[in-house]
């Protein structure tokens, strides 16, 4: 006779329509309630882990402008029915156009890559993924879902140190007021200023100033007063419009929806930028950063000049070289998002990579189980490093591409900021499930392993920020990255 299965089946745990996996016994402490931290908490809860969130601020930050998030981010959105409905209401599908300085189109209008006819099937198919959202809206959407699931968030906790105790099997986040917070794994999702490098890299790792900054503007169209060109545009607006302006050492992205206006201008820093949402500059300071401002599209100028008081952040663009180690020696502290891999805005995928991290890490922890948290975080790191490093690299290449005269950028009918199907056909949850055992065998036994979440045929190469900045200084653009492997759409 065969053996008898004596497994005791538990009732399904369904909260707010979300089906929870069986409990793993893993306690996950998430430090930082930005987008990456909040989705990490949600996915870890769904995968059966116990979760707690710590946030430095007194509440969730509602600062920020718009972000692009493709199908690779939303592979699990349908697992949260209430949040799914909300997401469908707060995201946008803008039409894109590259413009000359005066606002005239340099290309025909087009849609996001994953929406084009005849391209590869994206990761969240058949969902129609509207790829633009506002950081505030997405953050509040994730926060509301955390609250509906009963995930606790403790505000006003400034973590200044991370540690782990292999003998006890716990990791600790140390607050500046002496409080200690522990978990089986601590996730450092606290951004570019994280103090977690002391335990992952053995020393603090400072971000390097790139010499550029981004003026970030986003506000309600209700604030438009003396803006005849913008109001005329809004009167006939049927679909949100996104415009890219390029130039020597400067580019601007201009987004208009029925309810919001956003401008993002990247230019050389004159020393007034900072890494703070609390430090503001005036519309006059932004306008002065635009060369020949009287020749610019009047709608952009109106958008800048109508910005409410205190509504412009001049954000210093800082960077760290690709960092192949995101975990502590015993694997109980792991970095995600900007704490692990800061990206330039021109990568177009900064928030997306943090959210992919969240989905991947939760699944790796489920597969590793409480007895093998250390392997789980290191598998996650192995699965993610090359992909995020390549997208970091792409940010520099993209910036070099668009910091040229517009006629050069669009020569031959080219459309700048090409990503490729390898980005938006990737499903980080499925990839973690499929590659987990092979990756663990590579870490534990040296078995062969190759990541396949890169462009097909791509030969991964390490690189440095210093090398890329030298290329920028030359003033000559050569596409030396997107010819390595298949960056196509089909």
SS3 call for 171: strand
What is residue 110's DSSP assignment? Answer: B
- In this structure, the strands spanning 18-20 and 13-15 are antiparallel
* Residue 361: closest CA among 139, 153, 76, 84: 76
What is residue 355's DSSP assignment? Answer: H
> What does the alpha-carbon distance between residue 475 and residue 470 come to, in Å, rounded to a whole number?
9
CA-to-CA dists, residue 154 to 32, 49, 145, 158, angstroms: 10, 18, 16, 11
SS3 call for 462: coil
* Residue 400: closest CA among 314, 318, 469: 469
Tokens of 214: 């981004």
Tokens of 114: 């994953």
**Dihedral (Cα; 220, 224, 229, 230), 10-degree rounding:** 10
Tokens of 119: 């391209």
DSSP E strand stretches across 273-366? 312-319, 333-335
DSSP 55-81: ESSSS------EEE--TTT-TTGGGSH
Catalytic positions, please? 216
* Residue 426: closest CA among 435, 414, 415, 439: 435
Q: CB within 8 A of 285, min separation 6: which ones?
A: 272, 312, 314
> What does the alpha-carbon distance between residue 172 and residue 272 come to, in Å, rounded to a whole number?
37
Residue 434 region by backbone torsions, left for phi larger than 0, else alpha for psi between -120 and 50, else beta: alpha
- In this structure, the strands spanning 18-20 and 27-31 are unpaired
Tokens of 244: 């890219």
Helix H segments across 344-372?
Answer: 350-368
Exposure b/e, 91-101, CB count within 10 A at least 16 = b: bbebebbbbbb
* Residue 381: closest CA among 117, 188, 250: 188
């Amino acid at each position: 006779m065969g053996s008898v299965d004596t497994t005791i089946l538990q009732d399904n745990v369904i909260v707010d329509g979300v089906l929870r996996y069986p409990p793993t016994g893993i306690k996950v402490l998430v430090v930082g309630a930005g987008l990456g931290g909040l989705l990490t908490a949600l996915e870890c809860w769904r995968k059966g882990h116990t979760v707690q969130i710590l946030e430095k601020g007194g509440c969730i930050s509602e600062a920020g402008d718009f972000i692009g998030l493709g199908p690779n981010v939303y592979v699990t959105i349908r697992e949260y029915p209430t949040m799914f409905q909300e997401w469908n209401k707060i995201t946008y599908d803008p039409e894109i156009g590259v413009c000359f300085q005066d606002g005239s189109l340099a290309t025909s209008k087009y849609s996001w890559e994953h929406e084009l006819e005849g391209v590869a099937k994206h990761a969240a198919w058949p969902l129609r993924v509207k790829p633009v959202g506002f950081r505030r809206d997405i953050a509040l959407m994730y926060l509301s879902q955390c609250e509906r699931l009963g995930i606790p968030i403790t505000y006003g906790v400034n973590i200044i140190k991370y540690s782990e105790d292999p003998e006890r099997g716990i990791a600790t986040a140390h607050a500046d007021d002496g409080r200690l917070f522990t978990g089986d794994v601590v996730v450092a999702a606290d951004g570019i200023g994280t103090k977690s490098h002391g335990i992952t890299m053995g020393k603090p790792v400072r971000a390097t100033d790139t010499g550029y900054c981004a003026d970030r503007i986003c506000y309600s169209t209700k604030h438009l007063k003396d803006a005849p060109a913008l109001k005329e545009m809004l009167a006939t607006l049927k679909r949100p419009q996104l415009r890219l302006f390029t130039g020597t050492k400067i580019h601007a992205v201009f987004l208009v929806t029925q309810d919001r206006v956003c401008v993002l201008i990247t230019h050389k820093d004159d020393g007034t930028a900072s890494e703070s949402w609390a430090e503001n500059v005036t519309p006059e300071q932004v306008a002065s950063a635009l060369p020949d401002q009287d020749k610019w599209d009047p709608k952009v100028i109106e958008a800048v000049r109508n910005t409410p008081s205190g509504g412009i952040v001049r954000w210093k663009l800082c960077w760290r070289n690709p960092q192949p180690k995101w975990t502590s020696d015993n694997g109980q502290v792991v970095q995600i998002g900007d704490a692990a891999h800061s990206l330039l805005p021109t990568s177009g995928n900064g928030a997306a990579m943090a959210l992919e991290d969240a989905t991947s890490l939760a699944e790796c922890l489920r597969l590793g189980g409480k007895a093998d948290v250390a392997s789980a975080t290191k598998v996650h790191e192995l699965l993610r490093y090359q992909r995020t490093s390549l997208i970091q690299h792409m940010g520099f290449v993209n910036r070099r591409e668009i910091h040229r005269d517009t006629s050069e950028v669009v020569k031959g009918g080219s459309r700048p900021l090409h990503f490729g199907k390898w980005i938006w056909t990737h499903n980080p949850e499925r990839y973690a499930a499929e590659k987990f055992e092979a990756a663990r065998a590579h870490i534990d036994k040296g078995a062969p392993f190759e990541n396949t979440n890169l462009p097909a045929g791509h030969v991964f190469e390490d690189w440095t920020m210093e090398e890329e900045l030298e290329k920028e200084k030359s003033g000559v653009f050569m596409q030396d990255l997107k010819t390595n492997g298949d960056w196509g759409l089909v």
